[in-house]
Amino acid sequence: MELIVKGRFNGDVNSLPSGQLKNHPNATCFKEFDNINTFSLVLNIASLFLLIGLYILMCLRIHGLASLFNTGTILSIICLLPHEFLHAICFQETVYLYIGKGILFVTGTEVMSRNRFIFMSLLPNLVFGFIPFFIFLIDPSHTILGALGLFSISAGIGDYYNVFNALRQVPKNGKCFMEKQHTYWFV
């Protein structure tokens, strides 16, 4: 895997990496948002609802209001970049890191199996989100892990969208690749 830091994303989707579509001209584009601004708005709203739902669960678990301003909150911010690195290590070829539109993201044009694409999408959310939050649910004294998990799970909303699309649209033996702002699949 080669990681190339591209820096600030300028909002021009035509500047994102491409190349596999010419090798797989019959590939099917995921049925997803065409407009990156609409995509960002919808996912940010969904992330907020997920955050509120998880916060309510956290409060119910500790039988009171949970403080979200603790070390876990700071850790979740610090984990934004490692989150992207965990995505990146799932690539065997070149992967690009971008910053912009209120998010960090990695992308690459490598063809991967549907299952590897799903694993790549979920890995950072498991490590920084679900595992810490699950530990908190087992033992509510770990409020730092609860806050880390809460914010990390809600920050992964775009990853869950990719997993949802892969599970819903791609056959089990399908292959996926990213091309500019879209994801494609073929058998």
pLDDT tens string 18-64: 888 788 888 998 998 777 778 778 888 998 998 888 888 888 887 76
Banded model confidence at residue 102, pLDDT cuts 50, 70, 90: low
- Residue 132 in any domain: the answer is yes
Element (H, E) at 107: strand 103-107
Domain that holds residue 42: 2-8+34-169
Query: Looking at the DSSP assignment, which residues form a beta bridge with residue 2?
Result: 94
Extract the tokens encoding 67.
């403080």
* pLDDT value of position 174: 95
Cβ–Cβ under 8 Å, residues 44 and 162 = no
- Residue 114 in any domain: the answer is yes
Residue 115, SS3? helix
As for how many domains the chain has, the answer is: 1
- Residue 90 in any domain: the answer is yes
Report which residue type is found at 145.
L
Cβ–Cβ under 8 Å, residues 23 and 177 = no
